Amino acid sequence: MTSENAAPEGAEPAQAQITFDDLGLSPDTLRAVHESGYNTPTPIQAQAIPEVLKGRDILGIAQTGTGKTAAFVLPMIDILSAGRARARMPRTLILEPTRELAAQVAENFDKYGKYQKLTKALLIGGVSFGDQDALLARGVDVLIATPGRLLDHFERGKLLLNGVQVMVVDEADRMLDMGFIPDIERIFKLTPFTRQTLFFSATMPPEITRLTDQFLSSPKRIEATRPATTATTIEQRVIMLPGGDPRTRRAALRAAMTSVNVRNGIIFCNRKTDVDVVALSLKRHGFNAAPIHGDLDQSVRTKTLDRFRSGDLQFLIASDVAARGLDVPDVSHVFNYEPPRTPDDYVHRIGRTGRAGKQGASFTLVAPNDSKSLAAIEALTGKPIERAQIEGVPEAAIGDPRDSGGRGRRAEELKKEHTKRASEKKQRFVKRDTERPTASTEPVERSEAQPASAGAEQRSERSERPPRQEKRAEPSERAPRQQPRNEEPRRDQERRPPREEQGGDVQGFGNNAPAFLKKK
> What digits encode the pLDDT tens for the residues 90-128?
999 999 998 888 988 999 999 999 998 889 999 988 777
In a domain, 13, yes or no: no
Domain end position, chosen among 191, 224, 257 = 224
Q: Which residues pair with 316 in a beta bridge?
A: 266, 290
Q: Do the domain assignments include residue 64?
A: yes
What distances in angstroms separate CA 83 from CA 118, 258, 270, 291, 433, one per listed residue? 10, 56, 45, 43, 95
267 SS3 class:
strand
Pairwise CA distance, residues 405 & 110, whole Å: 47
One domain for residues 133 and 277: no
pTM for the model stands at 0.59
- Let me know whether 315 and 251 are in one domain: yes
- Phi first, then psi: what are they for 212, rounded to 5°? -65, -40
On the CB side of 72, CA atoms within 13 Å amount to 30
Examine residue 428 and state whether it is found in any structural domain, yes or no. no
- The residue from 353, 384, 410 where one domain ends is 410
**Shared domain check, 343 and 373:** yes
Distance (Å, whole) CA 446 – CA 432: 30
Helix (H) or strand (E) holding 319: strand 315-319
Total of domains in the chain: 2
Say what the pLDDT of residue 106 is. Answer: 92
User: Residue 403 contacts by C-beta under 8 Å, 6 or more apart in sequence?
Assistant: 247, 250, 251, 281, 284, 285
Confidence band of 197 (pLDDT split at 50, 70, 90) = very high
Cα separation of 219 and 223, whole Å? 12
36 falls within a domain: yes
Residues 260 and 199 in one domain: no
| Domain that residue 350 falls in | 234-410
Last residue of a domain, one of 224, 251, 276: 224
Query: Which residues are 292's β-sheet partners?
Result: 318
Terminal alpha carbon distance of the chain = 129
Looking at the structure, tell me whether residues 75 and 49 fall in a common domain.
yes
CA nearest 23: which of 44, 1, 2? Answer: 44
Q: Are residues 202 and 303 in the same domain?
A: no
Residue 347 in this model has a pLDDT that exceeds 80? yes
In a domain, 483, yes or no: no
H helix runs in 90-205, sequence order: 99-112, 129-138, 147-155, 172-177, 181-190
238 occurs within a structural domain: yes
Q: Residue 479 has what DSSP assignment?
A: P
pLDDT value of position 98:
85
Q: Do 128 and 203 lie in a common domain?
A: yes
Say whether both 325 and 355 belong to one domain.
yes
Residue 305: pLDDT band by 50, 70, 90 thresholds?
Answer: confident
CB neighbours (10 Å) of residue 244?
Answer: 14
Report the mean per-residue pLDDT for the chain.
79
Quick one: pLDDT band at residue 406, thresholds 50, 70, 90?
Answer: very low
Tell me, what's the pLDDT at 342? 82
Condensed to tens digits (0 to 9), the pLDDT of residues 472-494 reads 555 444 555 555 555 455 554 44
Establish if 107 belongs to a structural domain.
yes
